[in-house]
Amino acid sequence: MILFQGAIGNAYISLYAPRMQYKDEIILATGVEPKENSKLIYEEVLILNLR
């Protein structure tokens, strides 16, 4: 099954195909490292649940 063909199909596919990983986009747009923050949030939640 061929969904899109020709120049318009290729343009449509390239428009919606990701060019870089989502986490890299977040880092570039916000300057925030998702992995580092997730560790901090996890530790804070653990501390709050232990109280």
Each residue of 1-50: pLDDT tens digit?
666 677 778 888 888 888 888 878 878 888 877 776 677 777 777 777 77
Task: Compute φ and ψ for 33, nearest 5 degrees.
Answer: -85, 115
pLDDT at 7: 77
d(C-alpha 16, C-alpha 29), whole Å: 19
